[in-house]
Every structure is written in structure tokens, then in C-alpha cells.
Amino acid sequence: MSETILILGASGQIGNELTQELRSIYGNSSVIASDIKEGNEEMMSSGPFEIIDATDKETILKMVKKYKVSQVYLLAAMLSATAEKFPQKAWDLNMNSLLGVLELAKDKHIKQVYWPSSIAVFGPTTPKENTPQKTIIEPSTVYGISKLSGEFWCNYYHEKYGVDVRSLRYPGVISWKVKPGGGTTDYAVDIYFKAVEEGNYECFVSKETRLPMMYMNDAVAATIKLMQAKPEDVKIRTSYNLAAMDFTPEEMAVEIRKHIPDFKVSYKPDFRQKIADSWPSSIDDSEARKDWNWQHKFNLSSMTSDILKNIKN
């Protein structure tokens, strides 16, 4: 494994765990983490770290040359709930960072780009259940609009310039290591911490809101598997649907009560309910499973057990 990898947005929820997994595969010194602020102690002590604004193309190029980078994972983004409060900032960050990195790849400074999309590309007119890979895509949020645009920029740079850019449409990603950062599916992380620390939780979406979700371990595994796939096996250059499980907050609460019997949940939907209602309840990711043999490992039960065990420790 002779890749040298630069991760932009490494301090975020996915970036943190992806960085550590890539370091374990490629070697600590071969994975350069970066963000606009320093990462946690594990990230800072386990390998190189640089302060980089993901929209600063010149600094990114300088680091690419300094470390002889071959792959860039561009994870920096403003997520759905936060982006609704700062639409212009979200668009600028989410779009300009991607276009800058795609240009560097077009000019042959880097060989491979990873950029995450999201189920936010779907909208109220999208088929809700078992949402297919190719379907109606009419997002109703700033985050979704930026991700939809990004998908087609990725495809454009691949078709026109031969850029090897790869992408996944993440569902809600659940982790216990890093607190969430302004997404609509944050309740599915918060609920575990509140269950352990306080024994009750007020959920900001309704009890019957069903959304596609994935444990962080599976999200990281899928990302690396896609990046390691042979170019000819990556047949979709917009973004692959990705799925593992789907559930409601009430189903989560039932699962948590198997471990914490007195756990109570109340419901007070806020502006994020409308965002959640615009998204699918389940995703068809058969293209990813067929093209590069994607398989998830965790379901609601095994994920809940693993998270509660780790939080309690």
C-alpha cells in the first residue's frame, strides 16, 4: 500500500474515525489529517496534521506537493441543519472546496479523489421506500442542493477530464466517538449518550420518523472499499446509494431499553422534522453491492450493544 493520503475535514464525525482506520492500513506517516482547527489527542499524536481551509486551493496544492499526496478525501462540509441557518456559507464551503480539489486532480496533481454525498440529494418527490439509485432527485435543503450539484460536478470531471473521483450517498451515520456536528440525524447519536447519562431524551423528530442509518464502522469500511476498488468496477461516478438499516426513534428506544429498562423518550419535533420528512425511509443500494461487493455488518441491535458498551466504559 504505497498511497499518500490527505484528508480535508479530518476532525469531523466521519473524518476522525476514517483517519485512524486509514492510518492503520497505510501507515501513520502516509495519512495527513487536516482541518481548520486541531483534532483530538489521538489524531494529533498518531500522525501528521496540518491546519487547512478546505476552500484554499493554493494551500491544498502546497500540502499535496510537500507530502507527495496521491489521494485526497474531501470531507469538509456544512451539514443539513446548520446549512439551513447559513445557506450562502454552506454553498460556498461545500461547492468551492470540491471544485478546487477536482481542478487539482484534473491538472494531475493528485490521482484519486473521494467526496461524500448524502441521502439529502433526495427530496419530497423521491420515492420514499427502497429509493433506487436512479430516481427523481429534487432536494429541498441547501445541503441537498450542494450535494446534488457536487455529484454532477464529479461526474463531469470524470467524463470530460478522466478524473478518478468516487462518492457515496451516506445515510445517517451513527458514532459514539465524536459528538455530531449539525446534521438532521444527530438524534440517533444523542439518544445513546442521554440514555446513559440522564436516562431520558427529548427527540427533535417524531417517534414514527423512519430514516436510513448506518453505524460508523460500516460507513468507514464502505468508503475505503470503494476507494480500493478497481477503476473499472466503479461504474457510477455521480454517487452510489449506500444502506445498512432503517428505523424510527421509537424502535431505537425499544432497543436501548433492552439494556437500560427505565429509559424514557419524549418527542418535540422542530425545524429538522421537515428536513427528515423530505428524505427516504429506506434505500436500495444494490448497485454498490453488485459493482464492488459492498456488505454491511451492523444492524440496530448489534450497533446498540456496541455503542452502549463503549459509552459506559
Q: Tell me the catalytic residues.
A: 143
Task: List Cβ neighbours of 124 (8 Å cut-off, separation of 6 or more).
Answer: 138, 140, 277, 278
User: Closest by alpha carbon to 239, among 151, 121, 303, 129?
Assistant: 151
Residue 23 to residue 46: CA distance in whole angstroms: 8
- Give the Å distances, CA to CA, from 14 to 176, 180, 181, 254, 255: 11, 9, 10, 26, 24
How far apart are alpha carbons 161 and 154 in whole angstroms?
A: 10
Angle at the Cα of 64 from the Cα atoms of 59 and 66, rounded to 5 degrees: 90
Instruction: For residue 29, give the nearest of 14, 46, 43, 41 by alpha carbon.
Output: 46
Backbone torsion region of residue 108, taken as left when φ is above 0, otherwise alpha when ψ lies between -120 and 50, otherwise beta: left
How many Cβ atoms from other residues are within 10 Å of residue 109's Cβ?
A: 16
